[in-house]
Amino acid sequence: MKRHKNALGIMEGARNVRAIAKSLLEAADEAAGEGIGAEQDAAVRMIVHRLARLCRVDEVSYGYDAVTLADVHCALMKECETRAMEGSPGFSSDKKVVILRHPQEQAERQDERPASPEPLPA
Give 76-107 pLDDT, tens digit per residue: 899 999 999 897 666 555 555 545 554 444 44
Q: Are residues 70 and 25 in the same domain?
A: no
Q: Give SS3 for 8.
A: helix
> Looking at the domain assignment, is residue 9 inside a domain?
yes
Helix (H, G, I), strand (E, B) or coil at 122: coil
The answer to whether residue 122 sits within a structural domain is: no
DSSP of 52-111, one letter per residue? HHHTTHHHHHH-B-TTT--BHHHHHHHHHHHHHHHH-TT--TTS-----SSHHHHHHHHH
Is the domain of 41 the same as that of 66? no
Q: Computed from CA positions of residues 53, 76, 101, 32, in that sequence, does the dihedral angle turn out positive or negative?
A: negative
Nearest to 41 by CA among 51, 30, 50, 52: 30
Query: Domain range holding 6?
Result: 1-55
pLDDT digits (tens, 9 = 90+) for 46-72: 999 999 999 999 888 778 877 778 899
pLDDT at 34 over 90: yes
pTM value > 0.75 = no
Contact 21, 52 (CB under 8 A): no
pLDDT band (50, 70, 90) for residue 115: very low
Same domain membership, residue 71 and residue 83: yes
